[in-house]
Structure formats: C-alpha cells, structure tokens
Amino acid sequence: MGRAVVEACLPWLALLLAGFACAYLLVRLNRSRIELGRLARLHHDQAGGVQSLSFVLTLPVFVMVMLFIVQVSQLMIGTIVVHYAAFAAARSAAVWIPARLGPEETENCISVYYPEAEDQLPRVLDPLDPNSRPGEGGTTYIVEPGSPKYDKIASAAVIACMPISPSRDLGLGLPGESPGAAEVIKALYQAMVPGSDQNPRVPRRLENKLAYALQATQIEIRFYHTNRYPEPPLVAYPHLDDDPTDFTVEFMPNELGWQDPITVKVKHQLALLPGPGRLLARAVRRPDGSRDRLAETIGRLGKVYVYPLEASATMGNEGEKSVIPYEYPAY
C-alpha cells in the first residue's frame, strides 16, 4: 500500500519541482537575488507557523478522506440503482415476451436462445417419439442478443442505469438506432422539467449518459423449461386421416408457459471518481505476495475507472397458454 501511495504522488512531486524551477527562472529574469539569510530569519519566525503547518499537512489527507466518503456513497447508490435496473428489466421481460414482435417472435416465444449447459436434455416434443413422455428435470435457456424482445428488455436496464452514468463527454458515441432513443429521452426530460430548455448543455449531457449506459450495461436473460408438462396429445383433425404424420403439441421449444420464471441479471460498470479510482486500481501486493482482489476488479472503460456491480431479479411470465394447439408436420 505504501508503494502505491508513493507512485500515486510521483506526478505531484514532479509538478512541485517544476514549480520551483519556474520560480527560480522568474527570479533570474527579474534580476533579483536570493538572500538565504532572510529565508533563514523567516524560517526562525514561528508566528502563525503552527497553523500553516497543520493546514498543509492535514489538507491532502482531509481531501482524500472526503473523496472516499463521496465514493462510498456513490457505490451504495449505484448498488441500489442496479438492483432497480434488474427489477425493471425483469418487469419488461414479463411484459414484452408475451407480445408479438414480428413473425419470428410471436406470443410467448423467443427467437434466439441456447441451453445453459451442454449436458442438459430438453424434452422431446415429437409425440411419435417414444422418448417424448414427461420426465424429471428440465432445461435452462439463455436468451442471446439480437432479437427484438431482447433489445426491449435491455433498453429498460440501460435507461434505469442512466442516473448513475457520468454526464461528461467520454467520446463513446451513440451506436445504431440510439440517437432516436436519445431524442425521446430529451423530449421526456423537457416535458418533466420545463426549465431545462434554458440550459443548452442538458441535451448533450443526456446523450453522454445514454452513451455510457449503453456501453457499461449488459443483461443476461434465463428461462426454465420443465420436462414434466403433459404429453402432447394427438388431436383429431380432418386431414389427419389422410396424413397420419401430422400432429399437434402443447408447447413449442422456444415458448414460455404461463407464469414460467424469467430471471434477468444486470451487470453495470460503475464509473469511479478519478482520484479514488486511480488509487484503488493500483496493483497492490500484500506482504505474503498475494494480490489485492479489489484492485483486480477495477478496470477501465474509455477514460474512466470502473467497478462492476450486478444484480438479478426473477418474475413469472404474464402470458397465457394458448387455447389453440400448435400443429406441426413430423420431421
């Protein structure tokens, strides 16, 4: 820890030496003289010296303590906000998954997903297969980015994390269709705070917050399919007499049932203050040779030091099970 403090103070020491050099050049250019005797007499004069010395010695420590207090407060606020972002994303999933967003994502269906583990055995949905009967266990699926429903859920987490995102320009920029979302946020903010239109910096600061939240916020969506749902029954349709290979099933592989649990995990890289972030990010080695775990968790995102925060929330799917059976040809 002592070595890290000394390394952090090296730039300030160099700045102090540069200040002394500039003062010396200023004296030489003014054709003045440095009288060491007068400096010695000034040194022996102790009038007011105790207060000045105390101020000089305690001010840096006081400023650093205040910065750490502010930083800890921001971490506490950030933890609360990330937990709210997880709730907002889970609530958005419970609302958007039952909706229809195009032909690839119908009601209660997800277009892009994969099993959490390779050793999981999903239920066989073909009723003509002898292995299609109900069984124990189930499969946990993870939703991949790239689907309209995933984007809707992710946007809820990103907007929730905007209040803890820095408003200064970090050069991140808005990707894709985000400028349209930024205009909506600006219009909403101006409607809620009518006096904000008098400050021309507000729209740009909102864009910076949105750009950082998009870069620093990731979500992970999981849903669970049990293997214990009833066996898909054969339904008597008129055309089944002509083609007995057609059958109907109760669920599609990518469909979520009514009140199926949906878990959303939100990960956000919280921006730290420059001073505490730089000091805490130093790779500190303990006397026993082990590394400081806190220093290893702090990273960089653009121009700022960041600390990872994560939270998860689970909600049941609000979509209802279809009353019309799905019909598929046998493969």
Q: Tell me: the pLDDT tens digits for 166-193?
A: 988 888 888 776 667 788 888 888 888 8
C-alpha 163/C-alpha 175 separation (Å) is 19
Domain membership of residue 26 (yes or no) is no
- Given a cut of 90, whether residue 267 has pLDDT beyond it is yes
Domain membership of residue 60 (yes or no) is no
Nearest Cα to 316, choosing from 221, 229, 223, 218?
Answer: 223
Name the residue type at position 175.
P
Helix axes 201-216, 148-161, angle to 10 degrees: 120
C-alpha 200/C-alpha 186 separation (Å) is 12
Percentages (nearest 5) of helix, strand, coil residues in the chain? 45, 20, 35
Domain membership of residue 295 (yes or no) is yes
Domain membership of residue 184 (yes or no) is yes
- Given a cut of 60, whether residue 325 has pLDDT beyond it is no
Domain membership of residue 214 (yes or no) is yes
CA 302 to chain centre: 15
pLDDT of the residue at 233: 45
Token pair recorded at residue 70 = 């502010």
CA 264 to chain centre: 12
Domain count along the chain: 1
Which whole number is the average pLDDT over 205-225? 89
pLDDT of the residue at 89: 94
Provide the residue range defining the domain that includes 133.
76-329
Domain membership of residue 32 (yes or no) is no
Q: Judge whether 262 and 301 are in contact, CB under 8 Å.
A: no
Which of the four pLDDT bands, split at 50, 70 and 90, describes residue 242?
Answer: very low
Domain membership of residue 219 (yes or no) is yes
C-alpha 258/C-alpha 250 separation (Å) is 12
- Given a cut of 50, whether residue 241 has pLDDT beyond it is no
Length of the chain measured in residues? 331
Domain membership of residue 5 (yes or no) is no
Nearest Cα to 278, choosing from 37, 71, 98?
Answer: 71
Partners of 142 in the β-ladder: 114, 222
pLDDT of the residue at 189: 83
Per-position DSSP letters for 130-163, written without gaps between them: GGGS--S-EEEEEEPSSSHHHHHHHHHHHHHHGG
Q: For the chain, give the mean pLDDT.
A: 76
User: Which stretch, 31-45, 127-141, 227-241, 296-310, has highest mean pLDDT?
Assistant: 296-310
Nearest Cα to 231, choosing from 132, 115, 87?
Answer: 132
Report the run of H or E that residue 268 belongs to, with start and end.
Answer: strand 261-271
